[in-house]
Amino acid sequence: MAIIYRTSALAQRHAEIGGELEDWNGMGTAWFYDHSDERAKADYMAVRTKAGLMDVSGLKKVHLVGPHAAAVIDRVTTRNVDKIMPGRAVYACMLNDDGKFIDDCVIYRLSVNHWMVVHGAGTGHESMAMAAYGKNVAMIFDDNLHDMSLQGPVAVDFLAKHVPGIRDLAYFGILQTKLFGKPVMISRTGYTGERGYEIFCEARHAMALWDAILADGKDMGIRPVQFSTLDLLRTESYLLFFPGDNSETFPFANEPAGDTLWELGLDFTVSPGKTGFRGAENHYALKGKERFKIYGVKLEGSTTADTGAKLLKDGKEVGLVTFGMQSPLNNHSVGIARMPVDCAVPGVKMVVVNQDGTEIPCVTEEMPFYDKDKAIRTAKG
């Protein structure tokens, strides 16, 4: 049984609408408001066509403050922090000494010597703590800071009624402002593939902001969305989830868990020419030695691939689907898969075999499946 040691200030609101608080990252999280297919479809459609409000406070927020803060982040992550100016954020990865993926994160530069690293369920916190040891830096884990994610095409229209300049906030930009009279930090980030925003606030203001957003945004179609909806949205938007897409969940037959950025398709997170980050030498040495590749599959018909469904080529098991989803809006059934390197090109015919034995023809396809040129999430104005 997972030990839940973190509590969202919004737990009462989740319970009032049927939320079952299950562990994610040590926090009771509203994975489901109910388990019906109707709810799942409605929440998905809300984010893709209107906007959904999600409590993502289970993400771990870590402040690093002081003259050595930048050096610590530069050591731990794959990004060149000298390129990150105050008011900007960037997506990055963290590796172990072997050059294998251990966590991903968003790095926020709040001011000259004040940074915040928001990471998921991996061991990024421990890696930062090791790098910070003996340095002139304060490292503060901040569970008072809550994070609500407002995602979808009407999110910017809603916020524009209350936050001057929100339309000018660029992708991965940060704005220190107020919302409904409460101090907030709004970042143009998210995990849905939509134009969206994350609203950071103090725990004491979380419930009031949650209520105000839903009440004022109701006529625009804004609704509370269960956390499990993210799996549907991220799958068709090619946003990986640790450990769900990794060998920690789907282990190798004769090797310990641990995937390379080359295998996961996350090598783009390494700043050009960067050296000196944890695992750097082994990361570069592992290029061209991929044991598998993360790639997409598009299924015939509307049947959804099970998590862990077998992937066959010419009748032989060659991989598996880490997560599948079906979209009535985009008229496709797609999945993220782990497959041989030579299969990770468009147009390879395969078969997905679900747990009940159902066989579904599929073809490999480059991801993302939705908004392939990423124009929606990066739109201006």
What string of DSSP letters covers 48-101? HHSEEEEE-TTSEEEEEESTTHHHHHHHHBSS-GGG--TTEEEEEEEE-TTS-E
Q: What pLDDT does residue 57 have?
A: 98
Burial of 213 (0-12, 13-18, 19+ CB in 10 A): buried
Nearest to 143 by CA among 182, 201, 197, 213: 201
Contact call for residues 240 and 368 (beta carbons, < 8 A):
no
66-99 confidence digits (pLDDT tens): 999 999 999 999 999 999 999 999 999 999 999 9
CA dihedral 212, 186, 374, 170 (to 10 degrees): 130
Q: What pLDDT does residue 25 have?
A: 94
Nearest to 209 by CA among 234, 177, 231, 168: 177
Nearest to 350 by CA among 294, 298, 277: 298
Q: Residue 3: pLDDT band by 50, 70, 90 thresholds?
A: confident
45-60 confidence digits (pLDDT tens): 999 999 999 999 999 9
**Total Cβ atoms within 10 A of residue 102:** 24
Percent of the chain with pLDDT over 70: 99
Q: What pLDDT does residue 20 have?
A: 84
pLDDT at 143 over 90: yes
283-308 confidence digits (pLDDT tens): 999 999 999 999 999 999 999 999 99
What tokens appear for 86 in the block? 């105050």
DSSP letter (8 states) at residue 303:
P
Whether the pTM exceeds 0.75: the reply is: yes
- Side by side, the strands of the sheet bearing 182-187 are 174-179, 182-187, 196-202, 145-151, 51-55, 222-224
Nearest to 362 by CA among 291, 293, 303: 303
DSSP letter (8 states) at residue 271:
P
Phi, psi of 35 (to 5 degrees): -95, 15
Phi, psi of 199 (to 5 degrees): -110, 110
Task: Say which range, 21-25, 177-181, 199-203, 243-247, has the weakest mean pLDDT.
Answer: 21-25
Q: What SS3 state is found at 12?
A: helix
Q: What pLDDT does residue 157 have?
A: 98
261-288 confidence digits (pLDDT tens): 999 999 999 999 999 999 999 999 999 9
- State the average pLDDT for the chain: 97
Round to whole Å and give the CA distance between 131 and 157.
42
pLDDT at 1 over 60: no
Round to whole Å and give the CA distance between 25 and 59.
7
61-72 confidence digits (pLDDT tens): 999 999 999 999
CB within 8 Å of 163: residues ≥ 6 apart: 175, 177, 178, 179, 186
Round to whole Å and give the CA distance between 226 and 39.
9
User: Rg of the chain over CA atoms, in angstroms?
Assistant: 21
217-229 confidence digits (pLDDT tens): 999 999 999 999 9
**Total Cβ atoms within 10 A of residue 91:** 17
Q: How open is the CA angle 82-85-381, to the nearest 5 degrees?
A: 135
- Cross-strand pairs, 177: 184
Round to whole Å and give the CA distance between 287 and 307.
28
Place of tokens 């009407």: 154
